[in-house]
Copies of this chain bind each other. A is one copy, B any other.
Amino acid sequence: MTGALLAEPLTAAAFRSFGDVIEAGGAPDMLINEGLCGRFHDRARLDFTDGRAGLSLFDAEARSWPCRIDMMERHPLGSQTFVPLNGVAMLVTVAPDEGGRPGAPRAFLSGPGQVVNLLRATWHGVLAPMGARGHYAVIDRIGPGENLEEYRFKTPLYVEGPQP
């Protein structure tokens, strides 16, 4: 669980068991607005238990390499989508669940314009814009009940940037 980890490029295929990577590419699913607009339809596994979808803005401090991660958290009642507003890459560190705590972590670095949706109850590090302050529109669950679990590492995890 500890030591150094190398960030991988973020792709939809590699990330699929943790969430969705949404970006335009290929042919749209449909043309709308009299042919002036392509729609890539319903591309995220949004999932809100006992609540509703809400839209919030996150304004997060810049992080730098190596990125130190002391804890992971998860939201048992809802997915969480991050839409980049100022094009700042996110380090997305995730882990499968192993008996109620994070298993072996993996780290991904997003590209400009990539939207990232974390599936409900996915262990993840806190939002980490790399190199500059990051602004994101976030779609997550609004509702009653406890929707945050945290797991603190005994020794921190360090994530290094992808090899050039």
What is the size, in residues, of chain A's interface with B at 8 Å between Cβ atoms? 44
CB-based contact B60/A33 at 8 Å:
yes
Complexed CA–CA distance, A24 and B54 (Å): 16
A102 at the interface (CB under 8 A from B): no
- A23, closest chain B residue (CB): B57
Interface of A is mostly: strand
What's the nearest-Cβ distance from chain B to residue A103, in Å?
Answer: 22
What's the nearest-Cβ distance from chain B to residue A68, in Å?
Answer: 12
A9 at the interface (CB under 8 A from B): no
A61 at the interface (CB under 8 A from B): yes
8 additional A-B residue pairs with CB within 8 Å, beyond A42-B55, A46-B55? A40-B56, A44-B55, A46-B52, A53-B53, A55-B117, A84-B85, A86-B113, A113-B135
Which 7 interchain pairs have the tightest Cβ spacing?
A33-B126, A53-B53, A37-B60, A44-B55, A40-B57, A42-B54, A38-B59
**Could you name 7 residue pairs across A and B whose Cβ atoms are closer than 8 Å?**
A33-B126, A37-B127, A38-B59, A39-B56, A42-B54, A42-B55, A44-B55
